[in-house]
Each structure stands twice: as structure tokens, then as C-alpha cells.
A and B are shown apart, each in its own frame.
Chain A
Amino acid sequence: MKNRIILTVITVLALLPAIPLFLILFQLLKEGLSSLSLDFFLHLPAPPGEPGGGIANALVGTLIIVGLAVLIGVPVSILAGIYLSEYGRHGKLSETIRVCADVLQGVPSIVIGIVAYAWVVKPMGHFSALSGSVALALMMIPVVVRTTEEVLRLVPDILREAALALGVPYWRTVLKVVLPTGMVGVSTGILIAVARIAGETAPLLFTAFGNQFLTLNPLEPMSALPLVIFNYAMSPYEDWWRQAWGASLVLVFMVLGLNIVSRILARKIAGEK
């Protein structure tokens, strides 16, 4: 009897952290669902104060900025992860890289934004999607580096030895056996990192900056979902507040979707073991 009471109490307490998530989802659905329509996804913003309009430019912008960040950040991260797992596992350089990755992960995103401003916006002379991508890439690098390392370490040594015993050089063994075997895990790490950066606002404020119009040129200022939410929520127009909720809803479901896909992938790896 006593046990059951304790179990019930513990179960209820364990559910507490889930409550905020449901409250957030409830709030978003309540405030945001009414703005969702086909037009919302397909149209550009209406002029200030006028009702209607959509977030097409921000959706496309988020895809481009995040996509570019992946292109910039993922290759270097995977190379670093390979180095940490396959080459200098216990070396001094590896320890340094690990510490740097951890510190970089801890740098506040607003600071990353300022740095990207100094590195890219200043020399170019104007805001651009590219500078935003650089900022987001800096944020995803530590995550991808560490997950790549961890996942590759899980690849059993007997597979490496099987390849080496066939006369395959070590670097080819790494590229053609270790990396493909760990690929699902590496992809999971990338998805988690993308989910993390997709909603980042601070690094985009003075880099991608935002844009009322649709552009596909990464060298121009570009809109993104978090920027739209920020700008609309700060505006004096009620219709924009409503759209900020709508955009928040879209963003949260995007991130949620990425998380779910990465979980399915992670389960697939666990199942293969």
C-alpha cells in the first residue's frame, strides 16, 4: 500500500516536466491555429497595418539559411569527429579540440551573432543570409563534432580489423567502413543540431537581418521564421501578433518533427545492435 502511494507520487512528479511542453503546445495552438491557412504559407507579408499576408519569405529564408549553415558546418564537424574518434583518440590535440567544442557550445548565441557580424557583415558591407548561416554553423559545429565522435566510437573494432586484414589502408577503412557504419548516427546528430539552430533568433538579428520580400540570394538580407516572430511580436499591430503566433506554431512543429525523425533514426541504430 505504502509502496503504491510512493509510486503514484513519483509518477506524478516525473510527469511534471512534461506539463510545460503541453502548456506551450496548447498556447500555440490556441493563439496560432487561426492564422494558419494556405495563404499564410504562400503569400508575402502585407504592408504594415494591413491585414492578411503570409510568411512565405520567412519559410524559404529559414530553409536557405539553415541549409547553408549545414553545408558550412557539417563537413568540418564530421572531419573533426573522425579525427577525434579514429586518429587522435587520446592525444593532446584531441583533448584540446574537445574542450574547444565544449566552450564553443557554451558561447551565448548573441555573442556568436556579433562575431559573425564582425567576420562577414562588416567586410561585405551589408547584412546577408550567408552571415546568418555562418553564425548558425558556428552553433551547430560543436554538437555535430561530439555526436560524430561518439557514434563512430561505437563502431566495433572488429569491423575496422576486418577491413585492415584485407589490406585496406587505415584512411580508406575509416571512410568506407567506419563512417558508413555510423552514418545513421551521424545523421541523427545533424538533425538534432538543425533542430537546435532552426529556432535561433539572436544570431540572425544583425546578420540575416530580415527582409520583407522573397529572395533566394544568400548574399542579400533574408527573412527567417524566428526573425518574423521577433519583429511581428514587437509590432503595434494586432494582426501581426496573431501571425507571430502562427509562425511560432509552424516553427515549433518543424523542430518537433526534426526531433521525432532523429528519434526514429536513433531507435533504428539501437535496433541494429
Chain B
Amino acid sequence: MKVPYPIFRTEDLCAYYGDFMAIKHVTVSIPEHQVTAVMGPSGCGKTTFIRCLNRLHELLPGARITGKIYLRDEDILELDPIIVRRRVGMVFQRPNPFPTMTIYENVLAGYKLLGIRLKREEADRIVEDALRKAALWDEVKDVLHRRGTFLSGGQQQRLCIARALAVNPEVLLMDEPTSALDPKATLQIENLIVELKNTVTIVIVTHNMPQAGRISDYTAFFYMGELIEFGPTAEVFTNPKDPRTEEYLTGKFS
């Protein structure tokens, strides 16, 4: 399926854990400035797929990738993974702020950990900017120098989003970012995602169908490592082409 402005394009992407093939021959284009939901039953390879897109997958022992992944016309498998990861940020299932750092330092982690020195005003600006984008500024502006781990789960997750946004990535990958959060915090993050697509392209793994319906523009549907359906969310949800998508959507398996 063709999308208007693809930012990511995979060609015959396969991902392995040792001999086990977890992603099978996936060819897909992900549109820029849109929210793409990655869905499918448990164990179908959603996490594996998005971890290919920032080359985290290959860090596991025995894991490898074949095929091509283009990020705007450059094959990221040929690029330095460090560069790829700065252009493609990630938010994980469980909030993981650095426990030894303050909120302020957490937001700047993408600079500090790399040894990049920032002027005081510049650092302040980046922190405020990222926290505002993550809709967390008002809640933490007076406690910037406290540990990030003191925050609630939902706040920690938004802190992690701010940390990822602070380095200005082109794409933000999110792996079930709300599955560990309560409904209120989930709603906040959903609203945030919709806001964010003006600045970044978002690829979000979710098990939650209503959530995908609310926030995503496109949906990719995986089944046992294969991409079996991809298209505008409204179409995929109302008129799935593959019977397995329909079964999933009607709750036959999960």
C-alpha cells in the first residue's frame, strides 16, 4: 500500500532471534507526521518490529536483521546505529527514568550521557521545551531538581517522552506506552500523542483497540511475524481485508 509521504520504508525485512524468525518479510511504508499503530496478538512481533527501526533489536545476543529499512532514502542498516537512534527515539512499556538523575537531568540525558556540553540558558530552554511538549511542564516546573523516580507512573512516562523529544528525533517509537498506567494517565498520554504528530512521526504499539482507533491514522496489523494488513485505521477497522484481522478486531483471539 502506498502512503503519501513515507518517512520509513522497509523492504523484505526479516528479524531473527538466533534461528527463530520473529519478523517475516515485512515490506511497509510509514507516513510522516502521522500516528501509525502497530497491532496484533501477543507474540506476533510488534515489539521486535519497532526495535528494528532504531536498531535496538541487534543488541540482543544472536539477534539479527536482513532486508532493508529506509529512513528517508537512507538505509539505516548501513548507518551508524548511534546516529539512527538519535533520529529515531523510543519510549518503552514501563517508564524508565534514570534513577540517579533529577527530572532536569533526565530530560537532558540525551546530551549529558553523550558528553555534550550545553550553555545554561540553552539547557534550560531545551528542558522547558521538551517538558512542555510532553505536557509535563506545569506539574514539575517547581521540582525540576528532584529525582525523576518520585513522580507518578504517568508523570514518569511523560518524563520519558520529554527525554526522547529533547534530542529532536524525527520519529518516536512507543511500545505500549500506556499499558502500565491508569486510565487518567493513559488519556493524558493519548492526547499528547495526537498533539505531537505535528512535530514527529509516531509509531505506537498497542493492544488497546479503542486507543488505536482514537489516536492512530494508520494501522499495521501483524500476525505471527507477518504483516497481514496495513492501511488507514478507519479502513482497517471497518473493512479489514484479511480474515485474521477481522477475527482479532472482533475479539476472537488476543
Q: Taking beta carbons and an 8 Å cutoff, which residues of A are in contact with B?
A: 90, 156, 158-159, 161-169, 172-173, 176-177, 180-181, 183, 272
Contact = CB atoms under 8 A, between A and B. Distances in A.
Interface in B155-182: 160, 163-164, 167
B54 A166 contact: no
A236 B59 CA distance: 68
Interface of B: 54, 56, 59, 61, 82-86, 89-90, 92, 94, 96-100, 109-110, 112-115, 160, 163-164, 167
A159 B156 CA distance: 13
B229 to A, nearest CB: 28
B99 A272 contact: yes
A164 B114 CA distance: 11
Nearest to B97: A162
A167 B100 contact: no
Contact of B160 (A162, A168, A176, A183): A162
A202 to B, nearest CB: 40
8 contacts: A164-B56, A164-B59, A165-B164, A167-B86, A167-B114, A168-B110, A172-B115, A181-B100
B114 A168 contact: yes
Contact of A167 (B85, B96, B112, B160): B85
A162 B92 contact: yes
A143 B92 CA distance: 35
A198 B96 CA distance: 40
Contact of B98 (A159, A167, A172, A272): A159
A226 to B, nearest CB: 37
B100 A163 contact: no
A90 B83 CA distance: 29
A167 B164 contact: no
Nearest to A180: B100
Contacts of A169: 82
B160 A172 contact: no
B98 A173 contact: no
Given A164-B59, A165-B56, A177 B113 contact: yes
A165 B98 contact: no
A58 B54 CA distance: 59
Contact of B110 (A90, A158, A166): A166
Contacts of A165: 54, 56, 85, 89-90, 92, 164
B53 to A, nearest CB: 11
- 3 shortest interchain CB distances as A-B pairs: A167-B86, A167-B85, A165-B90
A23 to B, nearest CB: 43
Contacts of B115: 172
Contacts of A172: 113-115
A272 B150 CA distance: 11
Contacts of B92: 158, 161-162, 165
Contact of A166 (B61, B83, B109): B109
